[in-house]
Amino acid sequence: MADLWEVISDPNRRQLVQLLGQGEKTVTELSVHFPVSRSAISQHLLFLVEVGLIRARKEGRNRYYSLKPEGVSKLQGMFERFWTNELDLLVTEAKEIHHNKGEM
């Protein structure tokens, strides 16, 4: 199974998530926003479904995609933890640099 960080790192997949933030859409509705084939968009959507970021439902001949709130919450939590950790490291490094300059 693919990793959420890996899946969301692709620009096309990020754009799909943004488009689905506007509401449920079909592959055809989504594919008009991309220079790649509808088949390629379907493949990207499959990865997003696999990591739990979006859901798919079939109605007749169409498959409709939408964001999964729990998937978006998971992604948001990952970003918040990442930035908190990175900012903590940055503060620690800045304090060390400041301390080392004082010793010179």
Q: What value does the mean pLDDT take over residues 46-51?
A: 93
- pLDDT bin (cut points 50, 70, 90) of residue 33 is very high
Q: Which residues contact 11 (CB under 8 A, 6 or more apart)?
A: none
pLDDT beyond 60 at 1: no
Could you tell me which residues are beta bridge partners of residue 62?
59
In whole angstroms, what is the distance from residue 41 CA to residue 21 CA? 16
Structural domains of the chain sorted by starting position, each given as residue range(s) with its CATH number in brackets: 4-103 (1.10.10.10)
- pLDDT bin (cut points 50, 70, 90) of residue 104 is low
pLDDT beyond 80 at 65: yes
pLDDT beyond 80 at 27: yes
- pLDDT bin (cut points 50, 70, 90) of residue 79 is confident
* H/E run at residue 17: helix 11-20
pLDDT beyond 90 at 94: no
Q: What value does the mean pLDDT take over residues 40-49?
A: 95
pLDDT beyond 80 at 103: no
